[in-house]
């Protein structure tokens, strides 16, 4: 896909300084730029590279004034990093624009969809599925009965969305994700065996939710597992039955949240964090990677460790922990002197 400097400037509302008709068809780091590439300069420590880059077009701040001769066409904008991110988003949308129904597919007669549908080969659409406008279902995806999707939903290859799931507008379900599988519910019997508890609820994803590749979100035992607006999940995360995650909370890879835990809005949770069930975590909480959360957490806390404690207390304690052998030796020396 080829764009000219003038076309890119139009998208970014920027100003061209150089050849407006020069074309680019790929992206590159500024230090690795070559002919036909588009790059950007946002961090001043990379300024020297703009004089040596071979990229055809470079996005810069509108106040940039070169001190040496340039071999690249400039597009001047208010914020180069934000503009480049906007361009990446635009490029991603353009390259993935697909419409129509490929063959073979299985789509129930009772399923409904809006304009702009893309349905990839070997995908399955169950009974009474409702899909809004510009929904993109990629090959080998599974959409169970009575699933509802809003507009501009993307379900990538191999993802599975089980029955009764409700998905809002502008959501992305990455490859291999599973939304709406049974929760982990078993009742112990007197003989030591376990009986399965039917999982009769569903999953609700509000608008602008992203679900990473290989992530699983279990349906509720009763009621709903809910991810509020703007939640972002990384790859390989486990969200158990009846969990609720507040708006604009982000969670990094390999974290696990046990059943019925409630997490507030605008939280940031690092990778490999474990959260026990039936607790409440407040708003604006920060949890460092590999922490274990086994208690209720108030708003604005910052935690680390397993079991997790206050982040500052953890760092102070860790200093003593590293010095523990030295402290033991000092104690032993004092014992020898006293004896």
Number of H-type helices and E-type strands within the chain: 4, 40
What would the pLDDT profile of 199-233 be if each residue is shown by its tens digit? Answer: 999 999 999 999 999 999 999 999 999 999 999 99
- Candidates 137, 224, 206; CA nearest to 170 is 206
The per-residue pLDDT for 272 is 97
Identify the CATH class of 100-314: mainly beta
Q: What is the CATH T-level fold of the domain 3-95, as seen in this structure? A: 3.40.1390
The per-residue pLDDT for 1 is 75
Strand spans (E) along 56-206: 57-61, 73-77, 100-101, 106-107, 112-113, 118-119, 124-125, 130-131, 136-137, 142-143, 148-149, 154-155, 160-161, 166-167, 172-173, 178-181, 186-188, 194-196, 202-205
The per-residue pLDDT for 312 is 86
The per-residue pLDDT for 274 is 97
Helix, strand, or coil here: 140? coil
Residue-range domain boundaries for the chain: 3-95, 100-314
Query: Is residue 241 among the annotated active site residues?
Result: yes
Q: Are 219 and 180 in contact (CB under 8 A)?
A: yes
Contacts of 292 (CB under 8 A, 6+ apart): 273, 274, 305, 306, 307, 308
The per-residue pLDDT for 188 is 94
Q: How many CB atoms lie within 10 A of CB 294?
A: 11
Q: CA torsion sign, 27 to 65 to 62 to 44?
A: positive
The per-residue pLDDT for 327 is 82
Please give the radius of gyration of the chain, using alpha carbons only, rounded to the nearest integer. 26
What would the pLDDT profile of 240-259 be if each residue is shown by its tens digit? Answer: 999 999 999 999 999 999 99
> Rounded distance, CA 108 to CA 112, Å?
9
- Candidates 174, 166, 186; CA nearest to 240 is 186
Q: pTM for the whole thing?
A: 0.80
Contacts of 66 (CB under 8 A, 6+ apart): 50, 51
The per-residue pLDDT for 37 is 94
Q: Which residue has the tokens 């990473």?
A: 212
For the chain, which residues score pLDDT lower than 50?
none
Contacts of 3 (CB under 8 A, 6+ apart): 23, 24, 25, 38
Q: Pick the catalytic residue from 49, 241, 278, 320.
A: 241
The per-residue pLDDT for 96 is 66
Q: What share of the chain has pLDDT > 90, as a percent?
A: 82
């Amino acid at each position: 896909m080829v764009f000219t400097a003038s076309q890119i400037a139009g998208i970014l509302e920027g100003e061209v300084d150089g050849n407006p008709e020069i074309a680019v068809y790929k992206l590159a780091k500024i230090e690795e730029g070559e002919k036909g590439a588009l790059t950007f300069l946002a961090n001043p420590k990379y300024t020297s590279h703009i004089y040596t880059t071979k990229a055809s077009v470079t996005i810069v701040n509108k106040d940039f004034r070169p001190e040496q001769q340039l071999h690249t066409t400039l597009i001047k904008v208010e914020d180069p990093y934000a503009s480049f991110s906007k361009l990446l988003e635009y490029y991603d949308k353009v390259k993935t624009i697909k419409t129509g129904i490929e063959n073979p597919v299985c789509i129930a007669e009772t399923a409904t969809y809006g304009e702009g549908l893309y349905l990839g080969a070997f995908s399955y659409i169950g009974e009474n599925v409702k899909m809004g406008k510009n929904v993109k279902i990629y090959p080998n995806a599974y959409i169970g009965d009575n699933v509802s999707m809003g507009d501009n939903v993307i379900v990538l290859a191999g993802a599975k969305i089980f029955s009764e799931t409700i998905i809002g507008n502008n959501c992305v379900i990455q490859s291999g994700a599973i939304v709406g599988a049974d929760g982990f519910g078993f009742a112990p019997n007197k003989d030591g065996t376990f009986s399965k508890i039917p999982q009769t609820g569903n999953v609700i994803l509000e608008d602008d939710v992203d679900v990473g590749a290989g992530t699983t979100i279990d349906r509720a035992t009763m009621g709903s597992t809910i991810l509020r607006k703007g939640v972002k999940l990384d790859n390989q995360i486990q969200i158990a039955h009846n969990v609720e995650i507040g708006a604009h909370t982000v969670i990094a890879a390999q974290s696990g949240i046990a059943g019925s835990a409630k997490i507030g809005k605008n939280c940031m949770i690092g990778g490999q964090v474990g959260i026990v069930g039936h607790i409440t975590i407040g708003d604006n909480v920060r949890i460092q990677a590999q922490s274990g959360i086994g208690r209720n957490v108030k708003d604005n806390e910052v935690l680390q460790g397993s079991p997790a404690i206050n982040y500052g207390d953890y760092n102070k304690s860790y200093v003593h922990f590293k010095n523990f052998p030295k402290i033991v030796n000092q104690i032993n020396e004092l014992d020898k002197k006293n004896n």
